[in-house]
Amino acid sequence: MMSLTFDLLLGVALLWSAWHTLATADLIRAVVSFIVFGLLMVLAWARLDAPDIALAEAAIGAGLTGALLLDSVGRLKARRRPGDNG
């Protein structure tokens, strides 16, 4: 019962961080939300007894993808023009 409660809470947290990734106005915050989402995914994989995926998700899904996204946001903001909207 405890573990099912944890699963449900984690599921809600996943959906909330995903929603936040798409809905928040600022791009950097969106990417940070996405990295949080990736870390929550690591927990979900651990709960599903999938340590291999959890490792890959932490290194690739959250880590490398997050770094790529952050670097790109910096790049896009550096030459931001009035016409763009975040």
- As a 3-state breakdown, the chain gives helix, strand, coil percent values, each rounded to 5, of 85, 0, 15
Q: By CB under 8 A, tell whether 60 contacts another protein.
A: yes
Q: Enter the DSSP assignment of 25.
A: S
| Cβ(25)–Cβ(86) below 8 Å | yes
| Cβ(41)–Cβ(63) below 8 Å | no
Binding to another protein (CB under 8 A): which residues in 21-50? Answer: 21-22, 27, 30-31, 34, 37, 41, 44-45, 47-50
Residues at the interface with another protein (CB under 8 A): 3-4, 7-8, 11, 14-15, 18-19, 21-22, 27, 30-31, 34, 37, 41, 44-45, 47-53, 55-57, 59-61, 63-65, 67-69, 71-76, 78-79, 81, 83-86
